[in-house]
Amino acid sequence: MTFTLPDLPYAHDALAPLGMSAETLEFHHDLHHKAYVDNGNKLIAGTEWEGKALEDIVRGTYQAGAVAQSGIFNNASQHWNHNLFWEVMGPAGKTMPGELEKALIESFGSVEKFKEDFAAAGAAQFGSGWCWLVKDTDGALKVTKTENGVNPLCFGQTALLGCDVWEHSYYIDFRNKRPAYLANFLDKLVNWEAVAARL
């Protein structure tokens, strides 16, 4: 399967009133994400991974315990991560569906506690990486964080929500204020209906 850059599910300027500028999306989607797609396609050409599903490539090339992951993994996982990232944001879906709210309360005690844990995970991720809301293998919802392009697929988890904490995701709009970016992401950018649909 050839990697393809998806269109954003909204206009480049649709999130500007919510704290993510058109300039950020032009750089982040049109350049950064496209680079993962282009580099990934070059790296898998002629290998056993050419023609395989994206999820299979991510799971199959992840090396647990490795200091650095392979180029194929890095580009495939970042392609997958960004596909999810664009889908769980949007100008709509600001009311959290009851099913998701109930699940968060069951797992974290309250929606606010979930948000605190999620923002803390993102702020504490040293360097580049992601913070996640996942459904773990035991069915429980958990907050996790991963370095670089590593994602929940690597651990058999289902990703419900992911936030990119690489600096290119927030530097244009928030400079070096990652906690402010994370708070804005949770309060204004997340499409909770899209998150609930992943349950």
**Strand ranges of the sheet holding 141-147, from the earlier edge strand across to the other edge:** 141-147, 129-135, 158-164
Query: Annotated binding residue at 28?
Result: yes
Rg, C-alpha atoms of the chain: 16
29 annotated to bind ligand: no
Structure-token pair, residue 69? 């992951």
Query: What CA–CA distance (Å, rounded) separates 131 from 146?
Result: 6
79 annotated ligand binder: no
**C-beta of residue 69 within 8 angstroms of C-beta of residue 149:** yes
148 Rama class: left (phi>0) / alpha (psi -120 to 50) / beta = left
CA-wise closest residue to 98 among 111, 84, 85: 111
Instruction: Tell me whether residue 168 is annotated as binding.
Output: yes
Separation in Å, CA 53 to CA 57, 80, 110? 6, 11, 37
Residues 138/141/147/150 CA torsion (nearest 10 deg): 60
Tokens of 143: 């907050």
Binding site: which residues?
28, 82, 164, 168
Binding site for Mn(2+): which residues?
28, 82, 164, 168
